Structure 1
């Protein structure tokens, strides 16, 4: 912002600009982390739902009579089954699986709640920073006009003093008034630029690209 810049504030664009600022702020890395945590929670839930398969033990046994049949063992083979198949399940499988799925669901819910809270936090932060930017901009616009008025008075006093129309103290007063207004303007320029920088850190792009976008 230059000392001689003119007001650029346009209330007609404020609503659209706010929406765009929030949209840009949602691309913040912090929000991306929340998305990735939710994805991980989904994977963990799917893993918990299928974890019981890893605890199932399949067993198959073949007796010697079915593997090497002979005339002397035919009678024994009729007494014993050729093979037996079994599945072994831990007694606490159903309980453990249910608890693991519940834990995974709770973790997913926590991640989604955290994302929602982060959305509200980021949205509130960017909108507050934009309001601060607007406040500093309007204050600077007003002060710039006051500084311009004081400068005009100073130029008139300078001419009148050189022409002998006014006294030294009148010229000194006009000079001091202008310097005071200029100092206020410089401080407000600093505040405005800082507010703009803080807003741009959140949205990740120069503010001008948002304001001038159609």
Structure 2
């Protein structure tokens, strides 16, 4: 009984070990990975927010540039020629004298010295704000690219684990049927058959867990790229 159970266990784990040596590297498609990264750069909401911030910063730079006119203050006074004015009578003549030196439209321009001194710094600050947002966007693009790659590789890993666990489960089911047949014929003990049942149950659970992990990895990757993987060719 002990020898039969030992032989069964060794054969089973040798089979699993051989399958576990499979590699995911041949399945990596770098052109497809580039498409995933491009899709993430287009659809990921936070990156769209950075684009809006950059557009706003550009508007502020332009606004700061044309605000040079703020240092000038224009004013005017309109004094019609026919305005009635009180005249100051003189003792030597019977005529009156107009108190206003200038008549008609009078324009004036004044400069704000404080604005002249601070305006270059205002423009530079607006440009620096734009540069900061661009740097933040570039930094986020590097992080986003790395996250897409990591989740893509994880997706491939979980996909292969599903294949591995499915094959292991199918092999175990075949072995279980054989063990059951031998047990019914009296060629295998109950302990061997019971061990096969326990192992088959464990393989079924591992298969379900692998499938769940695969679906989670797929959904996490799709959350980054913004589309279903099936829609990206």
TM-score by length of 1: 0.81
Within the alignment, does 1:172 sit opposite 2:194 as a pair? yes
- TM-aligned CA distance change 1:167 to 1:62, over 3 Å: closer
Given that residues 176 and 200 in structure 2 are in contact (C-alpha distance below 8 angstroms), is that contact kept between their aligned partners in structure 1?
Answer: yes
Within the alignment, does 1:52 sit opposite 2:52 as a pair? no
CA RMSD of aligned residues (A): 2.8
The 2-side partners of 1:83 and 1:100 are apart by 35
Within the alignment, does 1:32 sit opposite 2:54 as a pair? no
Of 175, 187, 195, the residue aligned with 2:209 is 187
Kindly provide the CA deviation profile for residues 77-100 of structure 1, in whole angstroms up to 9, marking residues without a partner as x.
9x8686653311101222221111
The residue that corresponds to 2:164 in the other structure is 142
The 2-side partners of 1:12 and 1:180 are apart by 28
- TM-aligned CA distance change 1:13 to 1:209, over 3 Å: farther
The residue that corresponds to 2:123 in the other structure is 101
Kindly provide the CA deviation profile for residues 9-42 of structure 1, in whole angstroms up to 9, marking residues without a partner as x.
7946611221111111112110000000000000
Q: What SS does the corresponding residue of 2:120 show, helix, strand or coil?
A: helix
Of 149, 154, 160, the residue aligned with 2:182 is 160
Q: How many residues align?
A: 199
- TM-aligned CA distance change 1:75 to 1:142, over 3 Å: closer
Query: If you compute each CA radius of gyration, which structure gives the higher value, 1 or 2?
Result: 2
Kindly provide the CA deviation profile for residues 70-125 of structure 1, in whole angstroms up to 9, marking residues without a partner as x.
xx799999x86866533111012222211110110000001111111111111111
Given that residues 27 and 156 in structure 2 are in contact (C-alpha distance below 8 angstroms), is that contact kept between their aligned partners in structure 1?
Answer: no
Given that residues 71 and 113 in structure 2 are in contact (C-alpha distance below 8 angstroms), is that contact kept between their aligned partners in structure 1?
Answer: no
The residue that corresponds to 1:43 in the other structure is 59
The Cα of 1:139 is off from its aligned counterpart by: 2.1
The 10-residue stretch of structure 1 (93-102 or 83-92) with the greater mean CA deviation from structure 2 = 83-92
Given that residues 72 and 109 in structure 2 are in contact (C-alpha distance below 8 angstroms), is that contact kept between their aligned partners in structure 1?
Answer: yes
- TM-aligned CA distance change 1:128 to 1:76, over 3 Å: same
Kindly provide the CA deviation profile for residues 124-181 of structure 1, in whole angstroms up to 9, marking residues without a partner as x.
1111111111111222222222221111100111222223332222222222222222
Within the alignment, does 1:68 sit opposite 2:90 as a pair? no
Q: What SS does the corresponding residue of 1:165 show, helix, strand or coil?
A: coil
The 1-side partners of 2:141 and 2:134 are apart by 10
Given that residues 158 and 213 in structure 2 are in contact (C-alpha distance below 8 angstroms), is that contact kept between their aligned partners in structure 1?
Answer: yes
